[in-house]
Amino acid sequence: MSCPKIGDSFRKVVITYDDVPAYNTDDGILIIGLADFLQNPQSLNF
């Protein structure tokens, strides 16, 4: 997976339909499953 370098300070989040545990990539992108995102109000604080 190639991630472009975007020169801004906004947090990058990818929400997948699959049930995956939340994790951060080496580029600082948060990958999180849809169910975790919707059910957990603190999900973006990972």
User: pLDDT, tens digit, for every residue of 1-46?
Assistant: 555 667 778 889 999 999 999 999 888 899 999 999 999 999 888 6
What is the pTM for the complete model shown?
0.76
Domain of residue 17 covers 13-45
37 within a domain of the structure (yes/no): yes
pLDDT at res. 31: 95
Q: Which residues of 11-29 are buried (b: 16+ CB within 10 A; e: fewer)?
A: eeeeeeeeeeebeeeeeee
Structural domains in the chain (count): 1
4 within a domain of the structure (yes/no): no
23 within a domain of the structure (yes/no): yes
pLDDT at res. 2: 57
34 within a domain of the structure (yes/no): yes
Q: What tokens appear for 37 in the block?
A: 């995102």
Query: How many Cβ atoms from other residues are within 10 Å of residue 42's Cβ?
Result: 6
3 within a domain of the structure (yes/no): no
